[in-house]
Amino acid sequence: MRSWFAIRERCERCGLRFERGQDEEHDYWFGAYTLNFIATEVVFAVALLLALLVTWPNPPWTLVLYGGGLLMVLTPIALYPVSKALWLALDLAARPVQPEDFAA
């Protein structure tokens, strides 16, 4: 059974490989990891700011600590497929499709 956050190897319609440049660039998905990390940090910062603004002057620090930890674990899992797809889109914008991107 296929996982809900797994990305396919290639597009079913056109055959484009999603891991472009896999042969010469072993860390292709480092950009997706970086996007995921940045998004997770932004989500945490916004949630922390909102929690502090709503509960000031007596924030519930225990709830902030455990809620923040849970948020930092679940956010990257939830954003995993989005970050990979976004990185592919950015890569396609920077490097147009080549014939070898459709190779078997």
> With bands split at pLDDT 50, 70 and 90, how would you rate the model's confidence at 73?
very high
Rounded CA-CA distance 45/40 in Å is: 9
- CA 44 to centroid of chain Cα atoms: 14
What is the pLDDT, as a whole number, of residue 48? 97
Which residues are CB-contacts of 82 (< 8 A; sequence separation ≥ 6)?
39
**Residue, of 51 and 13, whose pLDDT is higher:** 51
> With bands split at pLDDT 50, 70 and 90, how would you rate the model's confidence at 58?
very high
Whether 55 has a pLDDT exceeding 60, the answer reads yes
Closest to 3 in 3D by CA, of 69, 68, 84: 84
Instruction: List the chain domain ranges.
Output: 30-102
Per-residue pLDDT tens digits for 23-45? 555 567 888 899 999 999 999 99
Q: What is the pTM of this model?
A: 0.77
Rounded CA-CA distance 73/32 in Å is: 17
Structure tokens given for 48: 């922390």
